[in-house]
Structure 1
């Protein structure tokens, strides 16, 4: 296998900044074949009918508080598959690196994220979106789709927020994980 492809995805994208991250962030993003992490999440979905439609299209989980959460990370060649289970509500995505960006395919949408490691956190900022992999959508529609990852009290923590103009919040979910 090509050495570049055997290097963990986030290490490829963050370069030497990866080495400055707290241990739990490095551990979660340095998986070489497969790993399971478990924890808990709280999910708040938007209530606007268009927000509900968009959330359903991408398979986003329903609103719940303190739901048991499991994520299985699987590495295949140059891609990572994240199989999330929020108390029985499943959400799967596929992540790859291309042109210095993280590309995450979620349902019919492919998001292009710029990653930034600062203040012991990883921040994801939307840089582009395509529908069905080919139709570019206006980036400004997705300016409020972002993620923050960090370590707190020895656990990996995440916060994902997605909102769009006019329709408002699609989803906000946050929680923590530890290796299973």
Structure 2
């Protein structure tokens, strides 16, 4: 059986992660995870525009959250539902970097496993798959996956120069 995208990206470090992270990132085929999340959105008009273009969820506290994963060895599709809001991204691996397409932006992330967590660091981005954007533009993007109380937890915080905070969402998931 071929390793999953995250097993390939993290190598041996994958197998030292907490159980909930290994379980979520060992998915093959279609699975659903459910939980709760809170979402904060930036107030700057430019931040609101960026969030709308990327298809990010609206603000809400303790929102029912569902993520459907469709995973193969070369590509994963994540369909997230934060209440009634939907957000889909497609992930793959190329040149050792995780690639995620979210709306018109394609990100390249370096993944690091450290202290029982997976940290995502932006290594580059492209707009519409063509226009390269400097990685330094995304220094305010921070993503972390970790285990707490034997559950998978996630935190995503994204801020851009001039626009400020675009979105921050955090929560937990368990297999359905």
User: Which TM-score applies when normalising by structure 2?
Assistant: 0.98
In structure 1, the partner of 2:164 is 168
What secondary structure is seen at the aligned counterpart in 2 of 1:31? Answer: coil
How much is the aligned-residue C-alpha RMSD, in angstroms?
0.9
In structure 1, the partner of 2:103 is 107
In structure 2, the partner of 1:157 is 153
Q: Is the 8 A contact 2:4 2:72 kept in 1?
A: no
In structure 2, the partner of 1:144 is 140
Aligned residues: 176
Alignment of 1:1-150 (within 5 A): 6-76=2-72, 78-150=74-146
What secondary structure is seen at the aligned counterpart in 2 of 1:35? Answer: strand
Q: Separation in 1 of the partners of 2:142 and 2:29?
A: 26
Runs of 4+ in 1 over 4 A off after TM superposition: none
1:78 Cα offset (Å): 1.2
Q: Separation in 1 of the partners of 2:64 and 2:84?
A: 9
